[in-house]
A and B are shown apart, each in its own frame.
Chain A
Amino acid sequence: MAYAYLFKYIIIGDTGVGKSCLLLQFTDKRFQPVHDLTIGVEFGARMITIDGKQIKLQIWDTAGQESFRSITRSYYRGAAGALLVYDITRRDTFNHLTTWLEDARQHSNSNMVIMLIGNKSDLESRREVKKEEGEAFAREHGLIFMETSAKTASNVEEAFINTAKEIYEKIQEGVFDINNEANGIKIGPQHAASNATLTGNQGGQQAGGGCC
């Protein structure tokens, strides 16, 4: 249970792109071809290690339907990372990225790290969105990008962990104020030690932090 940091993630994107399956693959390492649809929000959690530090990911998996946007919006608050997912076999899910991104930018902390994910990369034969298009979109909007397959687990681990690395780097750079939980970062119960090292690294930038 001891962790240095807790990061809140939110998974967003159109309905049926595989958000819940990505989460299940990441937390349980299994794939469920037919998944219950998500109403409202579901949750997952997993511990990862970055730079020798235990980091707990608290993941909010949201409903994708347009109608639920107004509900989803309230869940951006306090997220340090977002996985914005589209389905490479359905172009419309790619076309909707802009509105998702607007939503995300508008309702989240400006430092929130956004990872763009083109899911279902195992379905190459049904691909409608080229990988280059995803890369271009990500470049244009300053996102990290990966194509994943929740089915084969390809890149799933990497997507979640690379996002965490990015957040971690931002903490190291002092971009995130880890004392403000609205940033989606919480210092773990054993923060005393880890925070000490962190402040050491940071030249005391975040000294005094952690006692929250």
Chain B
Amino acid sequence: MVGPDDAGRDGSRSLSGGSGQEELMTNGDAGFLLQPEEPPAWAVRTEPGPQEEEMRLPNGGFPHFLPDPQPEPGDGAGRASPPAGAALEEPLRSCCLGPDPEGGAAVGSPPPPRSGAGTESPSEAAAGVRTPRDCSDGAAAAGTLCPAPLGFIDINLNSRNTYEVNRRRSAPEHLPHGGTPATAPAPPQEPTDKTKRIAIPGSSSGIADFITRNFFTKRTKELKPGLHSAPGWKLFGKVPPRENFQKDSKIIQQEYEARTGRTCKPAPQATRRKTFEFEPLSTTALILEDRPSNLPAKSIEEALRHRQEYDEMVAEAKKREIKEAHKRKRIMKERFKQEENIASAMVIWINEILPNWEGMRTTRRVRELWWQGLPPSVRGKVWSLAIGNELNITHELYEIFLSRAKERWKSFSETNSENDIEGVSVADREASLELIKLDISRTFPSFYIFQKGGPYHDLLHSVLGAYTCYRPDVGYVQGMSFIAAVLILNLEEADAFIAFANLLNKPCQLAFFRVDHSMMLKYFAAFEVFFEENLPKLFLHFKSYSLTPDIYLIDWIFTLYSKSLPLDLACRVWDVFCRDGEEFLFRTGLGILRLYEDILLQMDFIHIAQFLTKLPEDITSEKLFSCIAAIQMQNSNKKWAQVSENNNVTKSC
């Protein structure tokens, strides 16, 4: 049904982005059918017949709407199948109730039917019946359609989507058009609808038609002309819940149609409306089903072809969905398995390893378990133990430095800092205290917890401030905030500080955070030795662009990968870093290069640099760790320590 030409003109557009027109049209989840004399919705909009305008404007849509539902069944009953009307009352009522307030609010000009607001009760059907009549009178006078039913339908359909309702309120003059689309009862997706529609057109016209118009629900009529004169719009989306709803409504509509214009419309709408409010997604689109009346109708073959194409698209989408569902299921299963593993590992760590830490930490079994990743519940504890506390920092010491930091901050804010800072000797980097503030909120900004007012903001501030006072020779250096943040996420405040201070006291970290350029270069040189050994092709590729390791390693090493890798993955790197030491940091770097080797080989300087300083977010621990495992930290039988020693790097402290 989605004719290519149609698509070209109005085709499928996302609901949200659509113009008012489109939004209104959206309502018909099935093709809506205009009354024969009515121009297509857009045409109406731009050039509404004066009469029509008159008729419709007063209608405003909503006020009529309420009473209408009642009368409609009544009318319908008179005309076609009375019992059906009764059956439909329930849904109707609910429907009315829903949109009613909106209608009332929206419309300034309440025509008589409005009074029927109370019409919910079936007993008031009489009043309802009267309404259409009023309408018909009006219509007769005007010589046009009865606006009331239009309004009614319109609203119902539209009410499915709050957005539309709102729109309409703000632009009531569009309502009439909206009414047109309302005719959309026939679910376009059902081939049966198609055929029905095709069959119906012939029947619509003449006085009978006119009468029907007045008394019947639009629906019947709409159905008829739809095929050639009216454009049909349908919602096209791959959101399963919506589909279900569409199906529901389709079935209901079909029933309704079978009953010749019973007002069953509202019922599905009322329900739908709730769900639809939140539904429009990026995958939702509008599809113009039939050509507007000012264009020649599709030939049957063409219509069939479009139908077929559309069905194929739907089938395709369904297939995709099933596939995705399978994938999701698989992922869930894996996750479940992972959780189980973590749970069982946790028991081992808590009951066996931690109580015998010194004796077991270097055993093969523990090392292997360690490589798998530490269970989050013991992670902080294991990190603390592995990092150690050779600085013998106590909780009291932390408190002392924290209070000193607080004093400094206070004096900064009192003396407007600038002069103070200038006066401080370069060696005293306590001055960098001021910088911390700037960086806290720039640390893991996407988590929000470190933002001003976030739960961890002050904590991070404290740990970094205390460290700056504790090691004024190092001071606060950018990158530290990420390390402290990861520790805070896994340890109590004072313990985080202790781990932080001891971690930064390790030779590699000290070299980097003091920005000891010559030492850093030696680390880079050692890294390149293993780079060439493990990934010779990529190594040459980088060389050809003079792409040096500092470009990507500085970020990785300064933040221990916590800025460049997803946090859970970074924590796993930290796990093994705590086990293996600095060597593992560089091994991880090579693992990343290995993981993306094929891609990187295709890139030029700027793309490599951009890629490595902003790694893909979908990097998985499984893949990365298998690549890291494949990296040999042996260079002609020399290990990292020896190589870096040769480079005079390892200068233990």
Contact = CB atoms under 8 A, between A and B. Distances in A.
Contacts of B479: 39
B517 A71 contact: yes
A40 B555 contact: yes
Contacts of B550: 40, 71, 74
A16 B517 CA distance: 24
Given A34-B451, A35-B445, A67-B475, A41 B554 contact: yes
> Which interface class (under 10, 10 to 19, 20 to 34, 35 or more) fits B?
20 to 34
Contacts of B555: 39-40
A36 B451 CA distance: 12
A91 B416 CA distance: 12
Interface in A26-79: 34-45, 58, 63, 65-68, 70-71, 74
Contact of A71 (B442, B513, B554, B614): B554
A43 B610 contact: yes
A92 interface: yes
A67 B442 contact: no
B441 interface: yes
Interface string B450-477: 0100000000000000000000000101
A167 to B, nearest CB: 17
B515 A71 contact: yes
B606 A58 contact: yes
Nearest to A41: B551
- Please report whether the interface of chain B is mostly helix, strand, loop or mixed according to DSSP: helix
Nearest to A78: B546
A34 B517 contact: no
Given A34-B445, A40-B554, A68 B438 contact: no
Interface in B536-551: 550-551
A67 B439 contact: no
B609 A43 contact: yes
Contacts of B421: 92
Given A15-B438, A68-B478, A36 B445 contact: yes
Interface of B: 418, 421, 432, 435, 438-439, 441-443, 445, 451, 475, 477-479, 481, 513, 515, 517, 550-551, 554-555, 558-559, 563, 605-606, 609-610, 613-614
A43 B613 contact: yes
Contacts of A67: 432, 475, 477-478, 513, 515
Contacts of B432: 66-67
Nearest first, the 4 A-B pairs at minimum CB distance are A40-B554, A34-B445, A37-B442, A43-B609
Nearest to A70: B517
A15 B437 CA distance: 12
B418 A36 contact: no
B474 to A, nearest CB: 9
Given A34-B441, A36-B563, A67-B477, A42 B613 contact: yes
Contacts of A37: 439, 442-443, 478, 481
B515 A70 contact: yes
Contacts of A91: 418
26 contacts: A34-B441, A34-B442, A34-B445, A35-B445, A36-B445, A37-B439, A37-B442, A37-B443, A39-B554, A39-B555, A39-B563, A40-B550, A41-B613, A42-B610, A43-B610, A44-B610, A45-B606, A58-B605, A63-B478, A67-B475, A67-B477, A67-B478, A71-B554, A74-B550, A91-B418, A92-B421
Interface in A1-30: 15-16
B416 to A, nearest CB: 10
Interface in A167-206: none
A36 B554 contact: no
Greatest chain B CB density within 10 A among A35, A41, A67, A74 is at A67
A71 B555 CA distance: 12
A45 B439 CA distance: 26
A133 to B, nearest CB: 16
A63 B550 CA distance: 13
A66 to B, nearest CB: 8
Contacts of A42: 610, 613-614
A92 B418 CA distance: 7
Given A37-B442, A43-B606, 13 more contacts: A15-B438, A36-B442, A38-B478, A39-B559, A40-B554, A40-B555, A40-B558, A58-B605, A58-B606, A65-B477, A66-B432, A67-B477, A71-B515
Contacts of B613: 40-43
A45 B607 CA distance: 9
